[in-house]
Structure 1
Amino acid sequence: MRTVGLIVEYNPLHNGHAYHFEQSKLEAKADACVAVMSGHFLQRGEPAVVGKWARAEMALRMGADLVLELPVAYSSQPAEWFAYGAVRLLDATGVVDALCFGSEDGRIGPIASQAERLYREPEGFRDRLMRELKRGVSYPAAYAAAAEADGKEQASGAGAHPDVAEEEDGLRLDQPNNILGLHYLLALRRINSSIVPLTITRTKAGYHDTGLRDASIASATAIRKLIIGEENTSFDGVTDPLQGIEPYVPGFTVDILRREFAAGRGPIGWERFAGPLFAQLLGRSPGELSTLCEVTEGLEHRIKRMLREFPTGSASPVEDLLERLKTKRYTRAKLQRTLLRILLQHPKHELTRQKLSEGPGYLRVLGFNDTGRALLKRMKQKAALPVVTRVGQDVPPFLDMDIRATSVYSLAYRSQTPDEWLRDYYQAPLQV
C-alpha cells in the first residue's frame, strides 16, 4: 500500500484543501493518506476555530485514512520547528512513502536545491537570519534574505556551481508555502528520511488572502472572516454564521461546524481567552514572564507598559493588545505565539532547541477509517515511536502539554465541564 503524508491545519477544511488532497494522492500514486494535523493551537499562534477532534473528523470525511496530532510544542512554532516536528512524525510511522505539500512555486527542484545547500546550516547563516529578524521583518522574509545572501556568497566562492544558482533562480522564499516546503525538505534531509518530497502549486487563493477571488476556492483566512464573530453568533433561526461559507467548503465541513457551534464549542477566536490570558499577563512579574517561551529581547517590559496604557472599555482586548504591541520588530505572528505560550504557561526550558530536536516522542492517533486501521496494524511492526490511542496516567512531557492545551482551549466553550477539560483522557480515536 503506497501512502502519502500531508501536514495540515484545516482551520477549517475547505475546497482548496480537498483539491490538494486529491492531487497529492495522484501525484504520489498513493492508495492511502496519513495526515499530521495541528491540535487546538496553530502555527501562527492562533486558536483553531473548532477543536482538534472536529477538524480530524473533517479530514476523515474528506478521505484521509489516518490523522495524527502534531503536538502543540511544534504546532505553534516558526516554520523551522513546525516542519521538523511534523516530518519527524510522518517518518516515524514507518508507512509513509511520500510527502506532498502545496507551494507557490510548484517546482520541487529549486526547493530541493536550496534544502541541499542549507541543511548543514552554513557558517554565519543563523547570524544572518537573526539579524534580519531583529530588523522586524517576517520569518519568511528574514529566511529568504539570509538564504539569498548565503547563496550569493557561495556562488561567488571557489568551486561554485552556476547550475545550482540557476536551479534556485526565481524561488520566492518570502512566500509562506515555499518556506514551509523548504523546511519540510530540510527536515527530511536532517533525519535522513527515505520519504520522497513532492509539491503541487497552490491555486487561486494565497495563504493570507482575505478576499474572495474565485467562485469555489478561498483561503482559510477569508473563510474565517466570513463566519460571524462569536459575540453575534445565534442559532435561534435568526442568524446563521455559516451560510456565507457554503460555496467554499465541502458540505461535511458546514455540518461539523454547525454541530460544534450549536454545542457551544465554537467559533473560537482569541477574544474567548481574554480572561485567562490577562490573568497571566497581569498576575506575573516581568521576571516571571521572561521565563516563558517566545518572551524574548525585553518583550516582557513592553507588555507590562502596554497594559498600564490600556484603554478602558475595550470590546476586543486581545486584538487591541496585539495592535499596541506590534512593531516592525515584533510581527503579529511572533506576538500571537508569545501570548499563546504565556496563556499555556510554557517555560523556555521545556522547549529548548535540544529538546525540540529530539522529536515528539510518540504518535498520537486522533482518528482513522478502515484503511487507516490497516495502516495502524502495519505501524505496530514498523513505527519508530509508540502509537498512542489511549492516554494513560504516565504521559511524556509533550503529550502532557497537549492535555493541558485541551483544558485551556475548553475554557472558550459555552459550557465548562470536566469531560471537556480532560477530554484527552476520555476521547477514543474517531472511527469514520
Structure 2
Amino acid sequence: MRTVGIVVEYNPFHNGHLYHVQQSRKITGAGAVVAVMSGHFLQRGEPALLDKWARTEMALQGGCDLVLELPVAYSTQSAEWFARGAVATLDATGAVDSLCFGSESGEIAPFRAAARALREEPQQFRDRLNERLAEGLPYPAAYELALAAHLAESGETSLAIAQPNNSLGLHYSLALERLNSHIESYTITREKSGYNDQTPSDEAIASATAIRKMLMESETLDAAKAFVPPSTLHIMERERAAGRKAVDWRNFETTLLHSIVTKSAGEIGTMHEMTEGLEHRLLNAIAQLPDLRFESLLASLKTKRYTRTKLQRALLALLLGHTKTALSPASLEDGPGYIRVLGFTPAGQALLKRMRHAAKWPVLASVAQATKSAPFLTLDIRATSAYALGRNPSATPRELLRDYYEPPIRIGF
C-alpha cells in the first residue's frame, strides 16, 4: 500500500486542509495518509488554539490515518529545523514513500532543483547570505536574495521563498536530499486563501489565521462554520462545552513576564533564539511598556531585523526553558530519535504493524517508559504541563501530566 506523508499543524483543521489530504491521496495514489503534527506549540512561536489530542481527532476525522507528533524541539523552530524534524520522522517510519506539501508555486521541479543546488550549502551561497545579513536584512529576506543569486548562477529556475509555503516546501525538499531519503516529493497549489490572510476571500476556504481570528473574537462558532468540516465544528463545540476554550499568547502573559523579570540578562541570553543582544533589549523594554500585554511587549521589541515570528520563537523558548545547548544544531541534526503516536484509524493500525519491523526508531504509544532514552520527549511532557496551566491555572495534576495518561486516539474501530 502506497503511503503519503504530510506535515501539519491543524490550528484548527479546516476545509483547505481537507482539500490537501484528499489531493495528497489523489496525486500520489496513496491508500493511507501519515500526518506529522506539531503538538502544543507551533512553528511561528505560538501556542496551539486547541490541545494536540483534539487536533489529532480532527486530523483522523478529516482523512488522516496515522498522526505522529512533531516534538516541540522541532515544532517551534525556523523552517530548516522544523522541516528536518518532520521529514526525518516520516523517513524513520519505513512505511512512507511520498511527501506532499502545499505551495504557492504548485510545481515540484523548482523545489527539487533548488534542494540539489543547496544540498551541501556551498560557500558561495553562505557568503552571499552573510553579506545580506550584514546589510541588516532579516534572515528570511537575506536567504531569499542569496538563493535567487545562487540559482541564477546555477541556471536553475527561481523560487519565491518569501511566500511561506514555498519556504517550507524548499526546506522539506532540502531535508529529503540531506537525509538521502527514498521518499518522493510532490506539491499542490495552495487554493483560494493565503497563509496570512486575515479575512476570507472564498465562501468555503479561509486561512487558519482568519479562522482563529473569528474564533477568538466571538463567543460562538457560527462565523467559522462555513470554513471547517462538520467534524471539526463538533470537536470545537465539545471542547468549549467542557471548558477547554481556545488558547493564544494572552493565556501565558503572566508566566512569560515572570520568566523575564526573575532572570538576569546573562541567564536570558542562554535561551534558544536569544541572539544579537536581544536579551538586553528585552529587559530594557519591560520598564517602558505601556501595559503588561504580550502584544505591547512584541511591539516594543520589533524592528526590521527582529520579525514578529523570530521574537515569538525567542519568547516561547524563554517561556518553556529551551536553552541554546538543548536545541543546538548538533543535538537536532539526527532527528527526534523516536516516533510518538497520537492517533490512528484501522488503516493506521495496519501501518503501525508494518512499522514494528520497518521503523528506524522506537515507536511509542506510551511515554511512561521512554523519557530516559528520548530527551526531546521530556520537553514535550513539560510543554503539555505549561500548556495546561496556560489554559487553566487551576488545572489538575492529571491534566499537567496528561502525556502519561492519554492513550492514542482511535477513530473508525
Question: TM-score when scaled to structure 1?
Answer: 0.92
1:398 pairs with one of 376, 383, 400: 376
The equivalences for 1:222-237 within 5 A come to: 222-229=210-217
Aligned to 1:379: 355
AA partner of residue 25 (structure 2):
K
- Where has structure 1 moved over 4 Å in runs of 4 or more? 133-139
Aligned to 1:236: none
Distance in 1 (CA, whole Å) between partners of 2:370 and 2:98 is: 33
Q: Secondary structure at the match of 1:228?
A: helix
Distance in 1 (CA, whole Å) between partners of 2:182 and 2:212 is: 37
Distance in 2 (CA, whole Å) between partners of 1:180 and 1:130 is: 21
Distance in 2 (CA, whole Å) between partners of 1:143 and 1:357 is: 20
Please, which moves more after superposition, 292-301 or 387-396? Answer: 387-396
Distance in 1 (CA, whole Å) between partners of 2:127 and 2:340 is: 35
Distance in 2 (CA, whole Å) between partners of 1:275 and 1:133 is: 34
Q: Deviations over 1:322-373 (max 9, x none)?
A: 1111000100000000000000001110111111102101000000010100
Q: Secondary structure at the match of 2:123?
A: coil
AA partner of residue 397 (structure 1):
P
Contact 1:128–1:146, Cα closer than 8 Å, also in 2: yes
Distance in 2 (CA, whole Å) between partners of 1:123 and 1:367 is: 43
Q: What is the Cα deviation at residue 384 of structure 1?
A: 0.3
Aligned to 2:21: 21
**Mapped pair 1:199 → 2:209:** no
Contact 1:291–1:347, Cα closer than 8 Å, also in 2: yes
Aligned to 2:175: 187
**Mapped pair 1:347 → 2:358:** no
Distance in 2 (CA, whole Å) between partners of 1:100 and 1:126 is: 28
**Mapped pair 1:262 → 2:244:** no
Q: What is the Cα deviation at residue 150 of structure 1?
A: 2.0
Distance in 1 (CA, whole Å) between partners of 2:257 and 2:363 is: 37
The equivalences for 1:281-296 within 5 A come to: 281-296=260-275
Contact 1:140–1:175, Cα closer than 8 Å, also in 2: no
The equivalences for 1:126-205 within 5 A come to: 126-133=126-133, 135=135, 137-152=137-152, 154-155=153-154, 164-165=155-156, 168-169=157-158, 171-205=159-193
The equivalences for 1:353-432 within 5 A come to: 353-395=329-371, 396-414=374-392, 415-432=394-411
Distance in 2 (CA, whole Å) between partners of 1:146 and 1:426 is: 48
Question: TM-score when scaled to structure 2?
Answer: 0.96
Q: What is the Cα deviation at residue 243 of structure 1?
A: 0.8
Q: Secondary structure at the match of 1:77?
A: coil
Q: Deviations over 1:181-239 (max 9, x none)?
A: 1111110010100000000000100111112110000000011111134xxx6xxxxx4
Question: Do the aligned partners of residues 138 and 212 (structure 1) sit closer, same or farther apart at CA in structure 2, a change above 3 Å counting?
Answer: farther
**Mapped pair 1:335 → 2:311:** yes
Q: What is the Cα deviation at residue 131 of structure 1?
A: 4.5
Contact 1:65–1:372, Cα closer than 8 Å, also in 2: yes
Question: Do the aligned partners of residues 416 and 327 (structure 1) sit closer, same or farther apart at CA in structure 2, a change above 3 Å counting?
Answer: same
Q: Secondary structure at the match of 1:40?
A: coil
Q: Secondary structure at the match of 2:383?
A: helix
Q: What is the Cα deviation at residue 389 of structure 1?
A: 0.4
CA RMSD of aligned residues (A): 1.4
Contact 1:136–1:331, Cα closer than 8 Å, also in 2: no
Question: Do the aligned partners of residues 139 and 209 (structure 1) sit closer, same or farther apart at CA in structure 2, a change above 3 Å counting?
Answer: farther
Q: Deviations over 1:235-279 (max 9, x none)?
A: xxxx41x11000000011111112222323221000100111110
Q: What is the Cα deviation at residue 148 of structure 1?
A: 1.3
2:259 pairs with one of 269, 280, 293: 280
Distance in 1 (CA, whole Å) between partners of 2:69 and 2:382 is: 14
Q: Secondary structure at the match of 2:325?
A: helix
Aligned to 1:103: 103
Aligned to 1:244: 223
Q: Secondary structure at the match of 2:253?
A: helix
